[in-house]
């Protein structure tokens, strides 16, 4: 089986890839890829995986995520890092003060590029925003949004859950792009 390189600097994404893609020969190359200014996570993921391929000259995967808050017309969308760097999760909670509709979702696009063909795999995780910052730091955390995101069907933020609870939770209204990719790869690329 060939090697796939995951180019990222996000420790939480690395931990998720190593957990879910354990049957795939994934090598980690820690590097901070350029992120185009766009509201389209598919376009961002495509640009990142093509840059990753140019760096390592081997089949690569790249993952980009967005966070949509219904009450805020989808804000911050694909601009999660910008929102977290400027207003932070405290600012997001401030924007949501007095709002009843706390529905939100993470979306993700995993792109696989072998130098010739691009394949993209979408994921989505629905939930609600907590009214306060809750939970503990963990090396599996992708983002500070884990402190305020309560997955559908649960009463705890991702940061409040134990590793076992996160690993064993039933995925209500949830599709994990790593899992979708792993299934496709096993069916199409393993030799």
**Residue 59: HSE in the Cβ half-sphere, 13 Å Cα cutoff:** 15
Alpha carbon distance 18, 12 (integer Å): 10
Q: Return the residue matching tokens 């994921």.
A: 123
Q: Which residues pair with 67 in a beta bridge?
A: 77, 106
Q: Does 39 qualify as catalytic in the annotation?
A: no
- From 23, 34, 54, 64, the catalytic residue: 64
Which tokens belong to 156? Answer: 């705890």
Q: What is the DSSP letter of 148?
A: T
Alpha carbon distance 53, 117 (integer Å): 12
Closest Cα to residue 110, out of 188, 37, 176?
Answer: 176
Which tokens belong to 30? Answer: 């820690």
- In the chain, how many H helices and how many E strands? 6, 8
Catalytic sites, residue numbers? 64
């Amino acid at each position: 089986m060939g090697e796939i390189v995951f180019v990222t600097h996000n420790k939480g994404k690395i931990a998720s890839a190593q957990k879910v893609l354990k049957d795939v020969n994934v090598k980690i190359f820690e590097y901070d890829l350029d992120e185009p200014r766009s509201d389209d996570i598919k376009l961002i993921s495509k640009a990142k995986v093509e840059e990753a391929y140019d760096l390592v000259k081997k089949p690569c995967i790249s993952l980009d995520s967005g966070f949509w808050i219904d009450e805020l017309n989808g804000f911050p969308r694909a601009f999660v890092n910008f929102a977290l760097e400027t207003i932070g999760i405290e600012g997001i909670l401030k924007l949501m003060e007095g709002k009843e509709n706390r529905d939100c979702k993470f979306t993700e696009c995993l792109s696989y590029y072998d130098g010739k063909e691009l394949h993209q795999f979408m994921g989505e995780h629905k939930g609600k925003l907590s009214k306060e910052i809750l939970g503990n730091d963990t090396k599996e955390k992708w983002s500070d949004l884990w402190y305020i995101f309560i997955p559908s069907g649960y009463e705890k933020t991702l940061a409040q859950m134990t590793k076992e609870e996160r690993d064993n939770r039933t995925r209500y209204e949830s599709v994990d792009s790593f899992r979708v990719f792993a299934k496709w790869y096993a069916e199409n690329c393993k030799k």
